[in-house]
Amino acid sequence: MPDLHHALVAGRSAPLRIERIQVRHVSLPLRRPFETSFGTTTHKEFLLVAVSAAGVTGYGECVADADPYYLPETNRTVLHVLRDFLAPLAFGLDFAHPRALLPAFARVRGHEMAKAALEMAAWDMYARREGAPLYRVLGGRGGRVASGVSIGLQPSTAALVERVVEEVAAGYRRVKIKIKPGHDLELVEAVRARFPDVPLMVDANSAYTLADAALFLEMDRHALMMVEQPLSWDDIVDHATLQRQIRTPVCLDESIHSGEDARRALALGACRVINVKAGRVGGFGGSLAVHDTCRAASVPVWCGGMLESGIGRLANVHLQTLPGFTLPGDTSASARYFEEDLVDPPVVVSSAGEIDVPEAPGIGHEIVWPRVEKATTFREEWKR
Ligand code: OSB
Ligand code: MG
């Protein structure tokens, strides 16, 4: 960990202790509804966590939703677990590096989204104090990252193909389409008829069972990069059975919550790719663990998305500069989601389908506080 070594040798970084945690609930309208097999989202409703120590504040965007339809946590469970369990643990911890936070939360089982929001805010705070962009303290690199899109279920197959036309024209490097039972093979066939060679994948968000293996065998004929989380959100055994039956790589999303989960899934042959969402694995510490485990096994990872505002979106940009992120992720332009993002400049994607990695400290773009205030519905603050 060169940054830690450097910081200690330089003597700039006396141990930190979090003095204040502020949480606000933010509601931002989405430009268009996002539909998956588990439901439709019209507003991005999330908790924004701010942690302060030694006069520096960092920010973490929680990926929980109002409902428990993607995974069990909700904004309310996150608020409860932060207030009653994680904040007291954080206030009791002296840390030289934010890698210490996730292990310090270990007594709290699960609740990865709550842990991640606080942990990622601490990484941002640490990076800001170092005067370093987040990617540098994570061990990544500057430059650009390749951007893909995730397209929700549309009112018709024709409408989906039109959406794909737009996104390919915009330069995105990979297209992911959502599927659900009754809306699957036909969608893939329609997109493939128009775009025989576009890097294409599907995401089922756990909508199928092993009884649908024949469908995925059919999918094998369409040269998909991968099929994401076809089976149950808490399964790796059936995914391993399915992976043995099909040629298309299985990618796990919902089933992976830690580096240990990744190790077990790979040991079982449950997948050949993993989607890393920091918010789903307890933050950057968990992301590094999944990344390192996959890299050691030569299994590619890519960075998932949760319709984040610019704050979480920029965290994703930095994360995917790590060397194991060899496939384009779901991090796309702010303008695909929001009329007005919470950061300035917004996240933009070039016509070559790339996002510039910020060089300014922390997440690297300014947070536009009047917009955050306008979107805030309630707030809480805790002190050591
Ligand atoms: O499964 O990756 C998913 C959005 C919300 C919940 C789950 C998922 C998604 C996406 C959208 O696919 C990714 C994005 O555009 O942020
Ligand atoms: Mg997914």
DSSP β-bridge partners for residue 52: 20, 57
| Residue 8 confidence (pLDDT) | 46
Summarised one tens digit per residue, pLDDT across range 220-273 is 999 999 999 999 999 999 999 999 999 999 999 999 999 999 999 999 999 999
| Residue 204 confidence (pLDDT) | 98
Summarised one tens digit per residue, pLDDT across range 278-330 is 999 999 999 999 999 999 999 999 999 999 999 999 999 999 999 999 999 99
The 10 Å Cβ neighbour count of residue 193 is: 9
Which residue's CA is the closest to the ligand 1 atom numbered 8?
Answer: 306
Distance CA(301)–CA(38), nearest Å, equals 24
Please list all protein residues whose beta carbon sits less than 5 angstroms from ligand 2, which is an ion.
203, 228, 253
* pTM of the predicted protein model: 0.96
C-alpha of residue 266 to centroid of ligand 2, in Å? 18
C-alpha of residue 15 to centroid of ligand 2, in Å? 37
Summarised one tens digit per residue, pLDDT across range 143-200 is 999 999 999 999 999 999 999 999 999 999 999 999 999 999 999 999 999 999 999 9
Q: Measured from the CB, is residue 150 less than 6 Å from ligand 1? A: yes
| 314, 278 contact by CB (below 8 A) | no
| 340, 372 contact by CB (below 8 A) | no
Q: Measured from the CB, is residue 203 less than 6 Å from ligand 1? A: yes
Average of per-residue pLDDT values in the chain: 96
Which residue's CA is the closest to the ligand 1 atom numbered 9?
Answer: 306
Distance CA(69)–CA(74), nearest Å, equals 9
C-alpha of residue 242 to centroid of ligand 2, in Å? 17
Q: What is the DSSP letter of 84?
A: I
Residue 343 reports pLDDT greater than 90 = yes
